[in-house]
Amino acid sequence: MRRLFALSVVCVGLSLQGCMSPMPAPDPQMAWIELTMVSGKVIMAERLDGVNWADGRYFQVKPGAHDLMVRFDFEIYGGVGGPFNLWDDERLCYLNVRYDSFKAGEHYRLQARSLGLQPMAWLYDSHGQKVAEDSEIHCMP
C-alpha cells in the first residue's frame, strides 16, 4: 500500500512539473503565436494543420500558410440572476483560424472572446493589426 501511495505521489509530482515548465525560447526561423482571451476560462492550442499540437500554451510555425485550431472554454449565463437563473453553463468550442502569410521571427497573438453564446477569434500581427479571424467554429452543446 505504501508503494502504491509513493508511486502516485511521484506521478502527480511529475505531471505537475510538466505543467510548470517554462515557455521555450521562440525560434527566429519560425513564427510564434501567443494565445490570449478577453473573456473565458481556457484557451489551448489544439491542432496545427490538422495535426494534434503537443503544447497547449502556444503555436510555433514555419513561414507560410497554416490552419490553427484552439480550444476555447467560456461560461454562459441565462435567466435573470440570483435564485431565478434559468441556466448557467460552460461552453466548449473549437475555433479554426487560417492565415496564409506567417513570417519567420514574427510574433502573432490569437485572441478569443465570447459574446453571449457566440465565441470569436482574431489573429493579430506584431503591430496589432488584425490579419485573420475564425473561419470555422464547432461548439459542444
pLDDT one-digit tens code per residue, 81-139: 555 555 568 899 999 999 999 999 999 999 999 988 899 999 999 999 999 999 999 99
Q: Is 111 exposed, middle or buried (0-12, 13-18, 19+ CB in 10 A)?
A: middle
**Higher-confidence position of 3 and 27:** 27
Q: What pairing do the DSSP bridges indicate for beta strands 31-37 and 58-61?
A: antiparallel
In angstroms, the CA 92 to CA 12 distance is: 26
Q: What is the DSSP string of 49-65?
A: TTEE-S-TTEEEE-SEE
Let me know: does 128 contact 114? Beta carbons within 8 Å. no
Taking 90 as the threshold, does the pLDDT of residue 14 lie above it? no
Tens of pLDDT, residue by residue over 47-90, are 999 999 999 999 999 999 999 999 999 988 765 555 555 556 88
pTM of the predicted structure, to 2 decimals: 0.78
Tell me if 92 sits within 8 A of 18, measured CB to CB: no
What cell numbers appear for 48 in the block?
496545427
99/17: higher pLDDT: 99
